[in-house]
Amino acid sequence: MTWSAVLDQQRAVEALRRAIDRERVAHAYLFYGPDGIGKRAVALAFAQALQCEQAAGSDACGQCTACRKVQRLVHPDVHVLLPQPSDADADDVAERLQRLAAHPYAAIDFVRRPSLTDATASSNKQAFYSVGRIHEELRRPMSFRPLEGQYKVVVLTDAEMMRVEASNAFLKLLEEPGPRTVFVLTTSRPDRLLPTILSRCQRLRFDPLPAPTIEQALVDRDGLAPDTAATLARMADGSYMRALELSENDDLMANRSRVVAFMRWAYVRDHEQLADAVEEMSKLGREQVKGILRLMLSWIRDLMLFGTMSEAAPLVNVDQADAIQKFVENVPRADLEAMVQLVEEAMELAGRNVQLKLVLMALAHALGRAMHGPHDGTLYVPLAETSELALPG
Ligand SMILES: [Zn+2]
């Protein structure tokens, strides 16, 4: 991919282009910043600019054999590595790299995406760099001159996942870099890298992307409808990858309906409906419930925004503006700040080993009261396990 496929990150891009233009390319770079904002995309554009056979300065032509090989991630002098579980399957790894080549912002790592085919699958397998891989996949190939490129480029994604032994082996490579070798390390956790590795890298900070940038990309590149794109972009906290993940999540829209129904029933104190909703939600499991509570939080924050800015409010749930307006009009006494506190506390409890049903029931009750007037914002969850759940009036 060429630089034009990179979203924003001008500072990092300019620094790298200048380095190529002035022929002052460093041996090692560290790209750091949150996940999903373009560290890998920039690394790949940089690799292509370095390898292009007909480059005009730091601009790759996009047409030559080298460019096409880098684009497909099959260039023998461009190595892209990702942390792997010890039993990772070679075909699976190859497929992940192909997906990265097709969409450099896609989630392809084993931790966020244990299964490529199922976006909701989870796994507690650890992914890491073993010392064996550093030797096999880096030390040996790096000891030769470039095969057909002008440089040897290594992109080590999520570099903080090197274990101690692997870090030390990698440090040796950094200390004695081969001719025309460029290492690019990407990480969201630079604090977890050895100081001796950090000090040998030129560091470039990457910033979260503005929501309008993500929104535009979702429409232009991923073919999303403008309304959906706007909503997902605002939910994504500056991460294009996160927005893509959300767009793949079929449960998202269903969960938003659950949130609206939950709040409505809590307000009118429909105990029967609430008991059913709580029962159904708690069966979805802890992770899903946390996701639902996050949506609830974004919904309440939208109510606050609409309350102060009305039509000009930059709503997250922009496609639900009508429902939000109605809510604000119909529930004028709601203590929204207390509601935010309540949902945050419920999220915290849902992350711990507290029975989900108890948390959700207590939340329904407290939200119901906070929607009718001032509330102290504390959630009372009876910690004794009870099988009969009563909703206090
Ligand atoms: Zn080229």
- Secondary structure string (H, E, C) spanning 100-130: HHHCCCCCCCCCCCCCCCCCCCCCCCCCEEC
263 CA from centroid of ligand 1 (Å):
56
**Span from the CA of 370 to the centroid of ligand 1 (angstroms):** 61
pLDDT value for 389? 45
Q: How far is the CA of 30 from the centre of ligand 1 (A)?
A: 25
CA of 70 to the centre of ligand 1 (A): 9
Q: pLDDT value at position 390?
A: 45
Cα of 48 from ligand 1 centre, angstroms: 7
Please report the pLDDT score of residue 386 as a whole number: 43
- Spacing, Cα 17 to ligand 1 middle (Å): 15
What pLDDT score does 383 carry?
57
Q: What's the gap in Å between 74 CA and the centre of ligand 1?
A: 14
Span 251-370 CATH architecture: Up-down Bundle (1.20)
53: CA distance to ligand 1 center in Å?
5
Of 372, 386, 28, the residue nearest 186 (C-alpha) = 28
Contact assessment for residue 19 and residue 184, using Cβ atoms and an 8 Å cutoff: no
Angle at 4 between CA 244 and CA 237, to 5 degrees: 30
Q: Provide the residue ranges of all domains of the chain, joining segments of one domain with +.
A: 3-207, 212-248, 251-370
Q: Ligand 1 centroid vs 69 CA: distance in angstroms?
A: 9
Give the pLDDT confidence score for residue 126 in this predicted structure: 84
Measured CA to CA, the distance from residue 99 to residue 387 in angstroms comes to 47
Please identify which residue in the block is written with the tokens 């920039």.
42
Write phi, then psi, for 354 (nearest 5 degrees). -100, 140
What is the 4 CA–ligand 1 centroid distance (Å)?
Answer: 14
Q: Please enumerate in sequence order all residues whose Cβ is within 8 A of that of 102, keeping only pairs 6 or more positions apart, or say none.
A: none
Query: Ligand 1 centroid vs 138 CA: distance in angstroms?
Result: 25
Place of tokens 């080298």: 66
Query: What pLDDT, on the 0 to 100 scale, is given for residue 244?
Result: 93
Give the other-Cβ count within 10 Å of 94's Cβ: 11
Tens digit of each residue's pLDDT, the chain (393 residues): 899 999 999 999 999 999 999 999 999 999 999 999 999 999 999 999 999 999 999 999 999 999 999 999 999 999 999 999 989 999 999 999 999 999 999 999 988 888 888 766 767 778 999 999 999 888 888 877 777 888 999 999 999 999 899 999 999 999 988 888 999 999 999 999 999 999 999 999 999 999 999 999 999 999 999 988 998 998 888 999 989 988 887 777 788 889 999 999 999 999 999 999 999 999 988 888 988 998 899 899 989 989 888 888 878 887 788 889 999 999 989 999 999 999 999 999 998 888 999 999 999 999 999 999 999 888 887 654 444 444 444
Which of 248, 285, 260, 276 is closest to 108 using CA atoms? 248
Q: What is the pLDDT of residue 198?
A: 96
Q: How far is the CA of 149 from the centre of ligand 1 (A)?
A: 11
Ligand 1: distance of its center to the CA of 7 in Å? 21
CA distances from 288 to 233, 254, 258, 263 (A): 20, 12, 12, 17
Using alpha carbons only, how large is the chain's radius of gyration in Å? 25
> Residue 26 Cα, ligand 1 centroid: separation in angstroms?
21
- Cβ-contact 318, 306 below 8 angstroms: no
pLDDT score, position 382: 67
Closest CA to 44 of 11, 75, 22: 75
Give Cα 335 distance to the centre of its chain: 32
For 327, the 3-state DSSP assignment is helix
Please say whether the beta carbons of 59 and 18 come within 8 A: no
68 Cα to the center of ligand 1, angstroms: 7
Strands of 152-156's sheet, edge to edge? 78-81, 152-156, 181-187, 28-32, 202-205
Ligand 1 mean position to 13 CA, how many Å?
A: 18
Query: Separation of 173 CA from ligand 1 center, angstroms?
Result: 28
Q: What is the pTM of this model?
A: 0.78
Check if the beta carbon of residue 298 is closer than 8 Å to that of residue 283: no
What pLDDT is stored for residue 224 in this prediction?
93
Q: How far is the CA of 75 from the centre of ligand 1 (A)?
A: 12
pLDDT at 354: 86
pLDDT number for residue 267: 93
Q: Ligand 1 centroid vs 62 CA: distance in angstroms?
A: 5
Question: Tens digits of per-residue pLDDT, 180-215?
Answer: 899 999 999 999 999 999 999 999 999 999 999 999
- Residue pair 76/149 in contact by the 8 Å Cβ criterion: yes
CB 154 within 8 A of CB 138: yes
* Joined tokens for residue 372: 């009718």
| CA 315 centroid distance within chain | 20
Distance 2 CA to ligand 1 centre (A): 9
Q: What DSSP designation does 84 have?
A: B
User: What's the rounded Cα separation, in Å, for the pair 63 and 315?
Assistant: 42
Distance 51 CA to ligand 1 centre (A): 7
Q: What are the structure tokens assigned to 161, written together? A: 């996942």
What is the Å distance from ligand 1's center to 315 Cα?
Answer: 43
pLDDT for 115: 85
CATH code of domain 3-207: 3.40.50.300
Exposure letters 99-133 (e unless 16+ CB within 10 A, then b) = bbbebbbbbbbbbebeebeebeeeeeeebbbbbeb
390 C-alpha vs ligand 1 centroid, how far in Å?
69
φ and ψ at residue 86, rounded to 5 degrees: -60, -25
Alpha helices in the chain (DSSP H): 10-21, 39-51, 65-71, 90-102, 131-133, 140-142, 164-175, 195-198, 211-220, 226-235, 240-248, 251-268, 271-283, 286-309, 321-330, 336-350, 356-370
Where is 302: in which H helix or E strand? helix 286-309
Q: In terms of residues, how long is the chain? A: 393
CA 3 – ligand 1 centroid, Å: 12
pLDDT digits (tens, 9 = 90+) for 125-159: 789 999 999 998 888 888 777 778 889 999 999 99
Q: What is the pLDDT at residue 352?
A: 86
Cα of 12 from ligand 1 centre, angstroms: 21
